[in-house]
Amino acid sequence: MATKLNKQALSHARQLIKDGKVQRDTRDDWSEHAPSAEQENKFIEKNGFTEFSHWHLGLDAEASKETKGSVTFPFGDFKKVHRCAVVSLESRAAQHGHDDIAQAAKKLLEEIDAD
């Protein structure tokens, strides 16, 4: 898989954190806080796929463009950055050798925890 860091999503996450749009939840909360497939579809229908991609730190260049399979490592619920999502994605990115994404997530956690 040719997953690379989505720099636009990283900028989006940083701006959300700067604006105070953060849910400071615990690590295991993401399974309950993650948007459902239906919520994702509604968001895409209303806002477009580009905006949807801005909520994912990973882009898979080998996947079909503008499909859910082309984005990975979500960090929020389309309103806020969730700390639990960033913790989870940092761990998964590191496990799968996506060092640039893991490093970006680590820096996001530092920004979240600085407040």
Q: State pLDDT tens for residues 58-96.
A: 999 899 999 999 999 999 999 999 999 999 999 999 999
Average pLDDT over every residue of 33-39: 95
Host domain of residue 62: 3-114
Confidence of residue 1 (pLDDT cuts 50, 70, 90): low
Average pLDDT over every residue of 23-28: 84
Domain total of the chain: 1
Side chain identity at residue 11, one-letter code: S
Buried b (16+ CB within 10 A) or exposed e, 13-42: beebbeeeebbebeeebbeeebbeeeebee
Average pLDDT, the chain: 95
